[in-house]
Amino acid sequence: MPPNPTGPTNRQLRMLARFLRKAAAANSARIWRVVAELIERPRRSRVVVNVGKLNRVAEDGDVVVVPGKLLGGGELRKKVTVAAVKVSPKAAQKVVEAGGELLTIPELVRRVPKGTRVKVVV
């Protein structure tokens, strides 16, 4: 490893990015490569999304991936399936109360390997 490593030093994030790149190659699904690139960003420019933004950009029944942290700011009135790297307890509560479902990103990749109809929210 170089003296000053670049990219995530968190082992789970590195493993997740590697998993996504392999899934992208195996399934010819460019979306997973894009999500891997967003996860590998430096910490200061990682994605942070509030559930209020999900309410604005997603429709009922959509499948959404957040390549960062999902926070509980705002309201969610739509039933969406959400996969994120991290989810705050308040955000998890709001997604479940709205009738939605929370998944990990690997669970979502296994469920939708081609990434069809999956929205990336940044």
> The domain spanning residue 77 has which CATH number?
3.100.10.10
Determine the pLDDT at residue 83: 98
Render each residue's pLDDT in the chain as its tens digit; 122 residues.
566 767 678 899 999 999 999 999 999 999 999 999 999 998 899 999 999 999 999 999 999 999 999 999 999 999 999 999 999 999 999 999 999 999 999 999 999 999 999 999 99
Q: Which domain holds residue 69?
A: 11-120
Count of domains for the chain? 1
Q: Return the pLDDT at 79.
A: 97
> Residue 66: inside a domain, yes or no?
yes
Block residue for tokens 């990682």: 46
> What pLDDT is stored for residue 8 in this prediction?
75
Q: Is 64 within 8 Å of 58 (Cβ atoms)?
A: yes
Residue 2 lies in a domain: no
In a domain, 107, yes or no: yes
Query: Would 27 be classed as within a structural domain?
Result: yes
- The answer to whether residue 40 sits within a structural domain is yes
Please indicate, yes or no, if residue 50 is contained in any of the structural domains. Answer: yes
What's the rounded Cα separation, in Å, for the pair 45 and 98? 29
**So what's the pLDDT on residue 9?**
84
Nearest to 100 by CA among 15, 22, 108, 110: 108
